[in-house]
Amino acid sequence: MIIMDIKPQHQDVKAFIRSQLNLPPSAEEIDLASMYNTFSLDLPLRPDCIFKDENRLYFIEIKRSLVSIDTIARMRLLRELWQKRQDNPLDVHLVIAAKWFHQREERLAEELDIQLIKLPWLLNVSPNKEYQSSGMRITSEKSWKIVSRLLKENNTSIRQLALKEHVSYGWAHKVIGMLIEQNVVKKEQNYVHISDLNTLLNGVAWERPLKNLMIGDEFSIKFQGSFPAAQEITSILKEQNIQFAFTSFTSGGLYTGYAIRHDAIYLYIEKNAYTQFKDQFEDPTKTGVKAYLYTPDRDIFSDVREIESVKVTSPAVTLLDLAGLGYSAMDLTKVMAEKYAFL
C-alpha cells in the first residue's frame, strides 16, 4: 500500500474533489477492497479513492504535504499496470489533490496527463483525527470585509485594512494570518497582498455555496430575457417597497460587461416576500427565464447599487456569491476579481 499523507475518510473532502472534477451525481465511488480482489497487484500501489463515471475511472491520490516526483511516478505506474492487466480496460484518469504544489511537479504532472486539484485551505484533513475546519469562516461578514478590501487595495497593511473596514486590528490580523499560513496571502515587510486567487475562490465555494441560501426551487417567470426581466422587476419591487437586490450572474454581468445569462435571473429578496414574488411573476407555461431567489445571510440591502435600471448587490457581495457558485461561474468570478479594484 502507498504511504499516504491523508486518507480520505471524510465525505467533505471527496465531495470537493467530485465538484472540481465536475462529476455528475451518477458517478459512483468504487469500493477499493472489492476492486483489488479483482485486480491484484504485487506492488504497494493503491489510490486513496476511485470514482467511476460511465467508461472512465478516476484514480485519486490526496496529499497533506507537498507532492513529490515519487507520487507522480507511482500514479503513472498504477495506470500503466491497470491498462496492461485488463482485457477491456476502462479509461483511467489520474488525479492528485493537495493544498499546494511545486512548479516543477506541476509541469511534470501536466506533461504526464495527471490532473492536479488544489484543496481549499479550509480543509484541515489529518490521518489521525477527524476533519475540522480552521475555526474561522473566511466568508463571514466581518472576515469578508477584510478579504474584499485587500482585493481592492491590492497591496496594503493590515492596519489599513482594519481602519478602512471599521474592524478591529486583532480580527484583521487573525484573518490575514490564516491566509498567510495557507499561502493565499503573502507579506512583504509590513504590506500584504493576495498571491493565490484560485485557492481563495475555491475556499469560498467550499465554505459558502450560494445554493445553501436558495429559497424553494427554481421556477419560470413571465419574461423572455433576463436583462429586461431584471429591469422590470426592479421597477415593480421598488414601487412595492420590497427589499431586494440582484446578484451573481445578473449583477456580475452588469459590473464587468463580461457576460449576462439570458436564461435566468438571480436575486436576494426578503424571505416573507417570496410567496408574493412567485404569485406575481411565475409563468405557468414554464417557457420564460428561470428565477433563483435567495435569502440574505448578512446585511446586503444597505449597500446596493443601481446599474442600467437594475438594483444589484455591492461588488463585495457579488464576488462572494459568484465564487459560491463554484465551477459553473468560475470564468465570470475571475473577471470580477480582476476588475474588483476599479468597481
Going from N- to C-terminal start, the domains of the chain cover 11-118, 141-195, 210-342
Q: What is the pLDDT of residues 98-125, one digit of tens each?
A: 877 888 888 899 899 999 988 876 555 4
Separation between Cα atoms, residue 10 and residue 3, nearest integer Å: 18
Longest dimension (CA), the chain: 73
- Its pTM stands at 0.66
Question: Do 11-118 and 141-195 fold alike per CATH?
Answer: no
Separation between Cα atoms, residue 121 and residue 135, nearest integer Å: 12
**Which of 142-151, 177-186, 231-240, 304-313 is the least confident region?**
177-186
Separation between Cα atoms, residue 303 and residue 245, nearest integer Å: 10
The C-alpha angle with vertex 158 and arms to 154 and 164, in degrees rounded to 5, equals 75
Q: What is the pLDDT of residues 62-106, one digit of tens each?
A: 876 677 787 888 888 888 877 777 666 678 899 998 877 888 888
Separation between Cα atoms, residue 285 and residue 217, nearest integer Å: 16
Q: Give the pLDDT confidence score for residue 300 in this predicted structure.
A: 95
Quick one: pLDDT band at residue 32, thresholds 50, 70, 90? Answer: low
Mean pLDDT of 225-242: 96
What are the grid coordinates assigned to 246, written together?
440582484
* Answer CATH for 141-195 from 2.40.30.10, 1.10.10.10, 1.10.150.300, 1.10.8.60: 1.10.10.10
Contact 106, 28 (CB under 8 A): no
Distance of CA 299 to the CA centre of its chain: 22
- Assigned fold of 210-342: Beta Polymerase; domain 2 (3.30.460)
Q: What is the pLDDT of residues 141-191, one digit of tens each?
A: 999 999 999 999 989 999 999 999 999 999 999 999 988 887 889 999 999
Separation between Cα atoms, residue 94 and residue 253, nearest integer Å: 35
Quick one: pLDDT band at residue 285, thresholds 50, 70, 90? Answer: very high
CATH of domain 11-118: 3.40.1350
